Structure 1
Amino acid sequence: MNDRVPPTAPVPLSALLGHPALGLRQVAGEREVDTPVYFVHTSEMEDPVPYLLGGELLLSAGVHCPEAAGAGTYWDRYVARTVQAGAAALGFGIAPVHETVPRALVEACDRHGLPLVEVDRQTTFTAVASAVWDAMAERRHHELRSVTEAQQSLATAAARPHPVPAVLRQLSQHLGAWTVLYGPDGAELAAAGPRPPGQARTALGALAGRLRSGPSSAAGRAAGAAGEELQLTAYGLGGPAGPEDRLALGVCAPRRDGADGAIVGVAVVLLSLLTARRVVGAEAERTSALVRLMLGAEPARVAGLLARSQRQQGQSGQREQQGQQGQSGMPAEAPGKPAEPSEDGGLWTVVHGRRRGRGRDDGLLATAALAAGLGTPLVDLDGDALRALVPGEAEVRAQPGWTLGAGAPVPAADLARGGADAARALRRAVAGRVPLVRHGTRAVGVASLVDPAEAGAHGRALLAPIEGAPALLETLRVWLSLHGSWDRTAVALEVHRNTVRQRIARAEALLDVDLGDADVRMELWFALKWA
């Protein structure tokens, strides 16, 4: 298959052959493997190669080759070029040129292994294309529903008392696969689903052993017990810093469809968080910090607990003692005696965020993804609003689907100031439509200094007299953007210059302003942007 084929949901050729309204019939070519169809393309060119991406059902009525010209090697060259272009199959329309599928074409498709489908004279090529698009939309809807259901069940499993085995079981059920979590030494720490043959398990373990620390993946194949082909994939779990902490997820499945990659991605994020070095001692310190804050302790006296627990999470530690199990189902370190927090609590970066668009993701998954992306578990997600504390002076990075503002690193005693800086940076990011603004960077414009909600209300109030006249609003917008040029505005709007003059005069009267005043024009320009 051509690597230019986009990741769309393909339609099996058998689904089109079984479509009752199309009446298609395969007359030649490969029949044992169900061919995926990614596109439909109609062409009567003698050489279709320049116009194909790969994966198409190429439709032709043979106009490029009349019946009399079909002898010799014509069809063989045509089919060879079609195969070279990566087409999935060839659909040949009966009539108006050919009464039957040319015998030479049938033989050529058999030689080259290209599926050849006879399109009945009553079936239009448009109907075939429409059936393919409808089938693709249905399969895509099914994939999205599968991913949504998997996200919900995996998130529920992650909240159970023994989350790692629960997540592996849910992943196994959704994929119909054997799932396994490998330890740093390659041992199987937990597994779920039907165990594959020893050869497949060995090959999967070898793939996991070749992964580097942190997020990475490797894929391979192996034979199953009945000789079928098994898909092997190993994924490195993000977070650990050294080989002594390296964990990996292995998946052994008889098949793989479009939704599987997204489902595995969710499981990798969850398992990375569940198996990270959030040891019992670190969790206890965070709990202690919360209790002390609620009882009135100063942030500077408590922040050291949070900072140290975060360092423990990110650093590699010693190997766990044999047989010692944590609540997550993974080996856990003994908590030990927590040390007293430092006096100053170190430096902290406050992050404020606002979700872009409508949020449909599960709250646990969104929090997990943000915690992993920002590098801190100290995330407060409240609907479409986000607040987070990032210890130290680590660089805050933009997060998909979010607009962020980051304050400058401040001591724990100045967290209120850091929060105010982060809020201002977020307002600038929203106004400038950029994913991230850090406090102290150059502003994205004067408009960023105004609260977006207040600016929008002001703009709508100022323009209310012409709100019901779209033509006046658009003319005013274009006229201001072109510095009051009547001729250029007329060209841009494709109207007469006198029409522009009349509209601007009407807008000026309704708004009760003097458009000859530069201050008035500037205020209206901002109002148009805000409203």
Structure 2
Amino acid sequence: MLHNERVPSLAALVDAADGALAPVTPFPPARIISGVHVSELAAPGRYLAGGELLLTTGIPLTGHDGDAAYVASLAAHDVGALGLGLGEGWDAPPPGFAARCADAGVALFVVPDGVPFLAVSRALMTLERRLERDAGLRAASAHTRLAEAATGDEPRPAIARAIAEAVGGWAAWVPASRHDGAALLHPPALAGMLPAVIADVEASLRRSGAAAASFASHGSVAVAFPVMTGGRMGGALVIGSGRPLSRADRQLALTAVALLRMVTAPAGAASPVEWVARLALDGETAAARSLARAGGVALPRMVRVAVTGVDGEPHPLSAVEDGMRLALLDVDDVSEAGAVSAPVPLDEAPAAASRAIALWRSADGTGAVTERPRRVELWLDALDGSPGLRDAVRAHLSSSQRMEQTARMLGVHRNTVRQRIAAAERVMGVPLTDPDVAAELWLALRVSR
């Protein structure tokens, strides 16, 4: 299942800390840790959002009954755990302190003498990056399984099975007519629900014309997504689970809908390669990549969108739309006719296509016209001359432009970070404090890794 895969648990953090956190009391291994906070205040609760691992050298502690109020305050503010650094004020937890923590439900750890609190913070950051990477790999695997299901002999049952297994629930295909296949539900053990699901789709989706509809079905939260083909509703994909669908679940559902749209289209409507192009141009990037992997289609990470007439030799990775042929070119490909966009990441192909279409319609029809490079490409070119500046800008934007956190990520002093960021702004000619600049540059840096 794809939910909660990017959130670090207390057990995972203890393991990642590699001895920097030693448990004193029993702790809930699945407890979610939202961050690491260091405070020597007697009442730090007002600065906590809940779920943090609080680190202290024990300055607020007395070793007497007054420590009970400190522990109670932490419990009231839902602290994820408490870490006591040894060696400065205390060589071991104060008498009775561990029992007070256990009674209040606050997990107590010690940070051994000589281990910096920064080691714990870095362990959490490393863990978060690893979880994000692993979640991405699992999501990619789930998208690939969907694409493989779509290319099989019975794609609709296979797609329903793949999405049901990915979200840990059930999935149903409800066709608009008998020409769109038979209604089905996976797993088969729940097939008795199908008549009620069909009725719910009829009541909540077909009659309303909504882009999606939610309803309760047999104790599950169900979401129905319409599958549109040729301007009509060919059917609906319904996904149910005992919990609300996560963002990753919904992205996977959109991929499944896009693939169902492909298999529900009239026979001969498009080849698999054309469907890859069509999905990418429609903004269904995950589905396009998954189908390309399953079908052995080479799909560039960075593309140019070329717009020409429908006559002539078609580009293999292209689709016809409103009397125009839209093709996805590698950034180094050359077009001798039509309009060509500037290089963009694949997920920006729809916007690039819109610009290329406007350019094509305004051209005089002689030769090829090419869109001028976007300003972000010029910024990246300026940073390419110094990998250190590029890494500094990426880390700085990743840390929401917090100097201290950027310095920790890069393993340098914060003054070095200031110097590198200032140098990067000089070569780019724009300030990172401009939110539009920061947003454009961050997206470009993420796809250009």
Pairwise TM-score range, normalised by the shorter structure: 0.5 to 0.7
Superposed CA offset, 1:129-181 (max 9, x none): 33333333332222222222222222122112321112122333444443222
Shift of 1:105: 7.6
Does residue 100 of the first structure (1) align with residue 93 of the second (2)? yes
Match of 1:273 in 2: 262
In 2, Cα distance between equivalents of 1:220 and 1:39? 35
**SS of equivalent residue, structure 1 residue 73:** helix
In 2, Cα distance between equivalents of 1:27 and 1:242? 62
Verify the 8 A CA contact 1:11 1:37 in the aligned structure 2.
yes
Match of 2:112 among 121, 141, 157: 121
Match of 2:252 among 252, 263, 277: 263
Match of 2:13 in 1: 16
Distance 1:184 1:389, change over 3 A: closer
Structure 2: gaps spanning 5 or more residues:
272-279, 300-309, 374-384, 387-421, 424-449
Match of 1:133 in 2: 125
Match of 2:23 in 1: 25
Match of 1:249 in 2: 238
For 2:52, the aligned partner's letter is E
Q: What is the TM-score when the length of structure 1 is the normalising length?
A: 0.46
For 1:271, the aligned partner's letter is L
In 2, Cα distance between equivalents of 1:116 and 1:365? 47
In 2, Cα distance between equivalents of 1:240 and 1:450? 32
Verify the 8 A CA contact 1:172 1:192 in the aligned structure 2.
yes
Match of 1:321 in 2: none
Shift of 1:238: 4.1
Superposed CA offset, 1:47-97 (max 9, x none): 4456445443222233244546935634423442x32xxx43333334432
Verify the 8 A CA contact 2:168 2:241 in the aligned structure 1.
no
Match of 2:38 among 39, 42, 45: 42
Superposed CA offset, 1:30-62 (max 9, x none): x4x721223223233344456445443222233
Match of 2:415 in 1: none
Verify the 8 A CA contact 1:233 1:250 in the aligned structure 2.
yes
Match of 1:193 in 2: 187
In 2, Cα distance between equivalents of 1:116 and 1:138? 24
In 2, Cα distance between equivalents of 1:184 and 1:174? 25
Identity within the alignment, %:
19
**SS of equivalent residue, structure 1 residue 251:** strand
Verify the 8 A CA contact 2:85 2:111 in the aligned structure 1.
yes
Does residue 169 of the first structure (1) align with residue 149 of the second (2)? no
Superposed CA offset, 1:255-294 (max 9, x none): 988854443332232123333xx345xx47x89xxxxxxx
Alignment RMSD (CA, Å): 5.6
In 1, Cα distance between equivalents of 2:119 and 2:320? 57
Verify the 8 A CA contact 1:213 1:238 in the aligned structure 2.
no
Distance 1:109 1:382, change over 3 A: farther
Q: What is the TM-score when the length of structure 2 is the normalising length?
A: 0.53
Distance 1:38 1:273, change over 3 A: farther
Give the length in aligned residue pairs: 327
Shift of 1:236: 1.0
Match of 1:331 in 2: none
In 1, Cα distance between equivalents of 2:201 and 2:142? 25
Does residue 426 of the first structure (1) align with residue 420 of the second (2)? no
Shift of 1:22: 4.0
Match of 1:215 among 211, 216, 219: 211
Match of 2:137 among 134, 138, 145: 145
Verify the 8 A CA contact 2:20 2:112 in the aligned structure 1.
no
**SS of equivalent residue, structure 2 residue 239:** strand
Superposed CA offset, 1:276-313 (max 9, x none): xx345xx47x89xxxxxxxxxxxxxxxxxxxxxxxxxx
**SS of equivalent residue, structure 2 residue 189:** coil
Match of 1:525 in 2: none
Match of 1:520 in 2: none
**SS of equivalent residue, structure 2 residue 171:** strand
In 2, Cα distance between equivalents of 1:14 and 1:269? 38
**SS of equivalent residue, structure 1 residue 27:** coil
Verify the 8 A CA contact 2:43 2:70 in the aligned structure 1.
no
Distance 1:8 1:248, change over 3 A: closer
**SS of equivalent residue, structure 1 residue 147:** helix
Match of 2:57 in 1: 61
In 1, Cα distance between equivalents of 2:94 and 2:329? 52
In 2, Cα distance between equivalents of 1:68 and 1:142? 45
Match of 1:496 in 2: none
Structure 1: gaps spanning 5 or more residues:
1-6, 224-230, 288-350, 370-377, 404-418, 454-468, 471-491, 494-531
